[in-house]
Amino acid sequence: MRNSRPEAGLRSGNPKYGAGVCDFCGEPRPLLWRCRRCGFSVCQVCLSQDQKRFSCNAITWVCPNCLNWETL
Ligand SMILES: [Zn+2]
Ligand SMILES: [Zn+2]
């Protein structure tokens, strides 16, 4: 049941962003970034407020849970 379309929707597969609850602030958000390695989710608010922690530079961010680099 693998969906090979790259734009297959936010709820299928393991997208790098989607709606859900931010693992950092616990707030439900319409858009959050997701680590594809461990599933850690962080919203844009946390990402922009804590850019040093996430090493966020508008291109990439680092998952604080598993130190996996993800692109925005
Ligand atoms: Zn958040
Ligand atoms: Zn991770």
* Residue 33 alpha carbon to ligand 2 centre in Å: 11
Taking the C-alpha atoms of residue 23 and residue 3, their distance in angstroms, rounded to an integer, is 26
What is the 66 CA–ligand 2 centroid distance (Å)?
4
Residue 68 Cα to ligand 1 middle (Å): 18
Q: 9-66 pLDDT, tens per residue?
A: 445 567 899 999 999 999 999 999 999 999 999 999 999 998 888 887 878 999 999 9
58 Cα: distance to centroid of ligand 2 (angstroms): 18
User: 31 C-alpha vs ligand 1 centroid, how far in Å?
Assistant: 10
Contacts of 46 (CB under 8 A, 6+ apart): 22, 24, 25, 54
Q: What are the residue ranges spanned by the domains of the chain? A: 17-71
Q: Is 62 strand, coil or helix?
A: strand
Residue 7 pLDDT > 70: no
